[in-house]
Amino acid sequence: MSTTASLVQVLKAELKRAGITYAALARELGLAESSVKRMLARGDMPLARVDAICRVLKTDFAELARQVAESQAQRPMLSAAQEAAVVADPRLLLLALCVLSQWTAAQITATYRLTEAECVAGLARLDALGLIELRAGNRYRLRVTKTLRWRPDGPLMQYFRQTVVDDFFQGRFDGDDELLMLVHGQVSAPMARVFNARLQRVAQDFAEQHLADQRLPPDQKRPFTVLVAQRSWLLAGLRDFRRQPDGPVVAPVPGDGGGRG
């Protein structure tokens, strides 16, 4: 990702965290809301405009540059050894999930049955594994992305299949704020990659909203889990009816009944 794109992402995340809408930002900058949306979508703005946005956010360019540098240094995937170490210890796995959500040590010990010493020891292990950079006062910086990808058939994926899948899908998904959908269709490989990118943006939006809502009181928040997935796959009940089980799936031609008048 380019530095400009990273800067725009940081700006968007800071706006969301501060609860500043595009409309509110437009009023502060004396611009039309459409101009602000276009500017942030294209990432095309002079430094003077970036400074103006910083003033609205009550931050400075140096802080934005620090966040950009940190985001570009983050790894999108762990090694197999790192994944294995995390899933081997339930407490370390818990802490890994917490740091990916960027909880403070105080939040972790207040929510889970961990002493401060156990929490700090776990953070030190995550530092040694390369997931975080532990700093003074039990603060830390992520060295991996918040939307960390798992290794195909790696330790995390195996743990997910063996332990998480059944537990997750036993839910009824009937709450007003819950959703379960299965959409099947046929698209080209390039379009499948486009949808993958869109799904990754949804995951990133969810991660950023979590950070923005950290300032809310506990009684205004509930834990949610978003499962994002896409694969080339056909329901088992449909696979059983295919004439060529190992052949490509070919959709019927609309309107072609096979006969001619």
Of 6, 2, 17, 3, give the one whose Cα is nearest residue 205: 17
Q: Are residues 201 and 7 in contact, defined by beta-carbon separation less than 8 angstroms?
A: no
**Residue recorded with tokens 């994944």:** 83
Domain that holds residue 107: 76-149
pTM above 0.85, yes or no: no
Q: Is residue 194 part of a domain?
A: yes
3-state helix, strand, coil in the chain (%, to 5): 55, 5, 35
CATH of the domain at 10: 1.10.260.40
Residues 189 and 144 in one domain: no
- Are 87 and 156 spatial neighbours (Cβ–Cβ below 8 Å)? yes
Q: Is residue 22 domain-shared with residue 87, that is, in the same domain? A: no
Q: How far is CA 215 from CA 10, 17, 25, in A?
A: 18, 9, 20
Let me know whether 51 and 107 are in one domain.
no
Q: Does residue 67 share a domain with residue 10?
A: yes
Q: Domain count of the chain? A: 3
Residues 6+ apart with CB under 8 A from 79: 151
Pick from 28, 46, 72: which residue ends a domain?
72
Task: For residues 60 and 11, give the distance between their C-alpha atoms in angstroms, rounded to a whole number.
Answer: 11
Strands 144-149 and 75-77 come out as: parallel
**Same domain, residue pair 86 and 68:** no
Contact 14/57 with Cβ under 8 angstroms?
yes
Chain centre distance of CA 62: 25
Taking CA atoms, 83 is separated from 27, 79, 99, 140, 162, in Å, by 47, 6, 15, 20, 15
Exposed/middle/buried for residue 78 (C-beta within 10 Å: 0-12, 13-18, 19+): buried
- What's the CATH number where 99 sits? 1.10.10
In a domain, residue 166? The reply is no
**Are 82 and 131 a contacting pair, CB within 8 Å?**
yes
Distance between CA 88 and CA 84 in Å, rounded? 6
Indicate if 178 and 140 belong to the same structural domain: no
**Structure tokens of 142?**
């992520």
Length of the chain: 261
Statement to judge: residues 199 and 183 lie in one domain? yes
In-domain check, residue 157: no
- Residues 67, 10 within the same domain: yes
- Give the pLDDT of residue 233: 87
Whether 183 and 238 share a structural domain: yes
Residues 56 and 22 both lie in one domain: yes
User: Does residue 160 belong to any structural domain of this protein?
Assistant: no
Residue 179, both tokens: 């959703």
133 strand-pairing partners: 141
Does 163 fall in a domain? no
Q: Flag whether 253 is in a domain.
A: no
Q: Is residue 260 one of the residues assigned to a domain?
A: no
Q: Is residue 212 part of a domain?
A: yes
Tens-level pLDDT at each residue, the chain (261 residues): 567 777 888 888 889 888 899 999 999 999 999 999 999 988 888 889 999 999 999 888 888 887 777 666 678 899 999 999 999 999 999 999 999 988 999 999 999 999 999 999 999 999 999 999 898 999 998 889 888 889 999 999 999 999 999 999 999 999 999 999 999 888 999 999 999 999 988 998 898 888 788 878 888 999 999 999 999 988 888 878 887 766 655 555 445 444 444
Which residue, of 51, 72, 93, is where some domain finishes? 72
